[in-house]
Amino acid sequence: MQSSKRGLSGELDRLIFFGSVLGIISLCVPLALYPEEGGAILGRAFDFLTQNFGVLYVAGASFTFAFLLYLAFSRHGDIRLGDKSPEFSTLSWAAMLFCGGIGTSVLYWGVVEWAYYFQAPPYGVTPATPEAMLWSVSYPLFHWGLMGWSLYVLPGVAIAYSYYVRGAKSLRLSDACEPVIGRHAKGALGRGIDLLFVVGLVGACSIGIGLAVPLIGACVAHLLQVDRQSLGFTLDVVVILVVTCIFAGSVWMGLERGIKRLSDLNVMLALVLLAFILIAGPTLFIVELGLEGVGHMLQNFVRMSTYTDAAGTTNFVEAWTVFYWAWWLALGPYMGVFITKISQGRTLRELILGGIGYGTLGCIVFFAILGNYALYLEMNQLFPVIDTLNSAGAPAAIVGVLGTLPLSSFAILIFTLVCIIFAATSYDSASYTLAASATKSLAPEDHPDRGHRVFWAFLLGLLPITLVYMGGLKPLQSAVTLASVPLYAVTVILTISLWRSIHAAEQVSSGAVEVSEAS
């Protein structure tokens, strides 16, 4: 494959490019100038959306999972994406899929997410009890498992079918929506869809970088033995710039040399880290609780998938499940474009089952080992995970957990490297997708212009810097939830377009067979 030969100016979709840049700057400047007021507005918007429209996210996630299973196990699963053999091996494909879709967030939440649920469990369960512990280890597997990855895979199936089977000329969402919106795909409605996607993607990506930066900063401060508090926001900015330069370099090299190599390297480093924690830590406890957590999640899968807490006993659904589905949903179209570029030659069945299966399996391994080790420390009073989380924040708690391991400096160093590469692979994938979406036409064998991709790599750091400056988790949650609202509607259109396209192709095929038989 090669970059488009006509250069940035010839391929650039100026409306999408400049409109997106203007929209992003218009969001960042007021938030940076008025962080307290901006944080309050974002918080109120988050509460309004999750409390009044949360049921749409819960129902949408359940429908998405069921619909994909139907496609995979029906005759439609045999549809092949293009007429070439897969470009990447299954292992590299799975690594790129996982690293591009997860980022550093799996390391952040993998260690501490259980602690939030242990203190405030769902279903009226008494906090800090054995039952609360069981829910605290099974709910992360639910939020990072089958349902979440389905919200990634569905746009991937829709865009890949449009690109490889219908022969769309670009990777823009408007082209994939053409079976529903018709000629409007080339008009104002189509441009609006593409513009919302680009701005929404930057907003959705901000939470991943926003979580990664303080965590990487805390790890670096520990390794260098400097005071994290004294460096403050300056260290965060330096971390963002370093990570941005790394994934800008990866984007410049492209899919084969950049993203693929980083993904393969990161999977190996992550496996070394997880194996070390599993062996050096309470191995039997980690394995047993991990198996019990998976079983508990599967036993209660339908209940968890449809839980809306209509009585309003807690805010668990709004604060966590709706937030997570909004996050997955907001990143879904981006992953759809990225999945499309790495999945040529695979069948819909391979794409659906592989995307959901490999992604879920990877998250289970991370959460079972990292989370269960941290939980063991808390239960046996070896390290006050919950107290540290509540008083000093998640990054301090995570560094403290890793600090209890043998060869702790080595463990934290490997953890930091995995964090940095995870952030790089996730956001060089996002930069590639943004550049592809703001390119007028893109053949399957071509890539967007390199300079275009690198520009988006640096612009992706702008909003996270603003949100990190505002501080706290709530602005990040609010930003991703707001970004998901327009993309919810776009995903619905994508789904209907996919369904119409498949059935239209079947009707043409059956008509051709009838004509052949008649002749």
pLDDT in tens, 385-397: 999 999 999 999 9
**Distance from C-alpha of 456 to C-alpha of 433, rounded to nearest angstrom:** 9
Tell me what the mean pLDDT of segment 122-140 comes to. 95
**Distance from C-alpha of 101 to C-alpha of 323, rounded to nearest angstrom:** 17
Which H/E stretch holds residue 446? strand 446-447
At 336-351, the pLDDT tens digits run 888 888 899 999 999 9
By three-state DSSP, how is residue 459 classified?
helix
DSSP 376-401: HHHHTTSS-HHHHHHHH-HHHHHHHH
What pLDDT shows up at residue 463?
Answer: 64
Task: Find residue 447's DSSP bridge partners.
Answer: 3
Average pLDDT over the chain, rounded to an integer: 84
3-state per-residue secondary structure call for 478-502: HHHHHHHHHHHHHHHHHHHHHHHHH
Least confident of 109-118, 256-265, 419-428: 256-265
Tell me what the mean pLDDT of segment 427-443 comes to. 74
**Distance from C-alpha of 337 to C-alpha of 180, rounded to nearest angstrom:** 19
Of 77-86, 94-103, 139-148, where does the model show the most confidence?
A: 139-148
Q: Could you tell me the two tokens for 64?
A: 């998405």
Domains of the chain and any CATH numbers: 2-506 (1.20.1740)
Q: What's the pTM? A: 0.88
What pLDDT shows up at residue 8?
Answer: 47
What pLDDT shows up at residue 211?
Answer: 78
The answer to whether residues 323 and 204 touch, using CB atoms and an 8 Å cutoff, is no
**Distance from C-alpha of 133 to C-alpha of 126, rounded to nearest angstrom:** 10
How many other C-beta atoms can be found within 10 angstroms of the C-beta atom of residue 390? Answer: 14
Gyration radius of the chain's alpha carbons: 22
**Distance from C-alpha of 513 to C-alpha of 519, rounded to nearest angstrom:** 10
Residue 361 reports pLDDT greater than 80 = yes
By three-state DSSP, how is residue 3 classified?
strand
DSSP 145-184: SHHHHHHHHHHHHHHHIIIIIS--SS--HHHHTHHHHGGG
The answer to whether residues 4 and 439 touch, using CB atoms and an 8 Å cutoff, is yes
Least confident of 100-109, 385-394, 441-450: 441-450
Q: Which ranges constitute the DSSP H helices of 438-472?
A: 450-459, 462-470
The answer to whether residues 136 and 114 touch, using CB atoms and an 8 Å cutoff, is yes
At 38-84, the pLDDT tens digits run 778 877 888 888 888 899 999 999 999 999 999 999 999 999 998 88
Spell out the residues 6+ positions from residue 174 whose beta carbon is closer than 8 angstroms to its own: 181, 185, 186, 189, 190, 191, 193, 194
